[in-house]
Amino acid sequence: MANRNNGSPRDAVITKKILYRQRVLIALAIVFVIYGIIFYYIPLGGWIMAFENYKPKTGLFGSKFVGLDKFKFLFSDKTFIQVIRNTFCMGLLNLIFPTTIFPIIFAILLNEMKSLGGKKAVQTISYLPHFLSWIIVTGILHDSLSNSGIVNEVLQKLGIIKDPISFFSEPKMFWWIVCFAHLWKEMGWNAIIYLSAISSIDPCLYEAASIDGAGRWGKIKHVTLPSLRPTIIVLLLMNMGFILNAGFEVQYLLGNGLVQSVSQTIDIYVLTWGVSQNDYSLGTAAGIFKSVVSVLIIVICNAVAKRSGEERLF
């Protein structure tokens, strides 16, 4: 998915003069268009695999054509339907909490801090986990949520529970554990863009609000949040496309047999059937499904935003 921002205002007439004035930008853009064609469009040719019984030996052009058989297999497989549900729900949870609500709240709170040093320190600490790889994050989670881990130990010492809770054997908790993992890892990082949006709000607005008698809360409600609105909408729209990219590593590393009915995502499904079982065609078919749905989600959301007169992508 490529995100393109038009340099010129919408609906403006493009004249030679404008083209000449923007020649450097256009030349730069061409490089990226070529990049896009090579790395995003040409590989789409591989989609043929989904309609044939692909074997590495016979290759893309020699394999037997089977039409929609692979898609039929997918949609008659109960597991695949489960997998779509899991991916969508975990994606949605990720979109709502770790990518949108919490970073906004965090950015606003951080912005309200008076001490500049403290603010810097908190911000740096909060986005450091972003640079850890998932294998480390899941390792920490696995240890701390195990029966003899720190979480159970604290809960037991506080007398809240008697027997340790087996977090990873409870299907109901899995999505929330994944959501929490994302929150811990990505919240600080995701807040950066909101922080910068906040810092670009015209200070005059705050002054005017103060004169009108707004307190801290009033300023957040009537100045900060409305000014953030375009940023929030654009980011929300862009992230919508990633809903089905709910993740692979987290679920793969944290999952186990007991919770597999809620832990497997489309990517894991592709791995088990496509790579391990050597059925590349089936894997490709599942991948196509994912891409098509993602594009649809973006188009629909964009249309909705357009209708309601909000900021939009295209």
Size of the site for another protein (CB under 8 A): 41
40 contributes a contact to another protein by CB under 8 A: no
Stretch that binds another protein, among 233-241, 253-261, 284-292, 306-314 (CB under 8 A): 253-261
- Closer to another protein by Cβ: residue 142 or 222: 142
User: What does the angle CA 147 – CA 153 – CA 154 come to, to the nearest 5 degrees?
Assistant: 140
Window 163-202: contact mask with another protein (x via CB under 8 A): -x-x-xx---------------------------------
Is 38 near another protein (CB under 8 A)?
A: yes
Q: Does 258 bind another protein (CB under 8 A)?
A: yes
Answer for which of 101, 135, 136, 303 binds another protein (CB under 8 A) is 135
- Which range in 123-131, 185-193, 223-231, 274-282 contacts another protein by CB under 8 A? 274-282
User: Which 46-75 residues touch another protein, going by CB under 8 A?
Assistant: 55-62
Angle of helix 134-144 relative to helix 150-157, nearest 10 degrees, comes to: 30
- Distances from the Cα of 228 to the Cαs of 108, 210, 221, 233, in angstroms? 10, 19, 11, 9
Residue with tokens 């692909």: 54
CB atoms within 10 A of CB 188: 24
- Angle CA 151–155–161, to nearest 5: 130
Nearer to another protein by C-beta: 14 or 27?
27
Check: CB of residue 292 under 8 Å from CB of residue 204. Answer: no
The residues near 237 (Cβ < 8 Å, ≥ 6 apart) are: 298, 301, 302, 305, 312, 313
Contact residues for another protein (CB under 8 A)? 24, 27-28, 31, 34-35, 38, 55-62, 78-79, 135, 142, 146-147, 164, 166, 168-169, 253, 256-258, 260-261, 271-279, 282
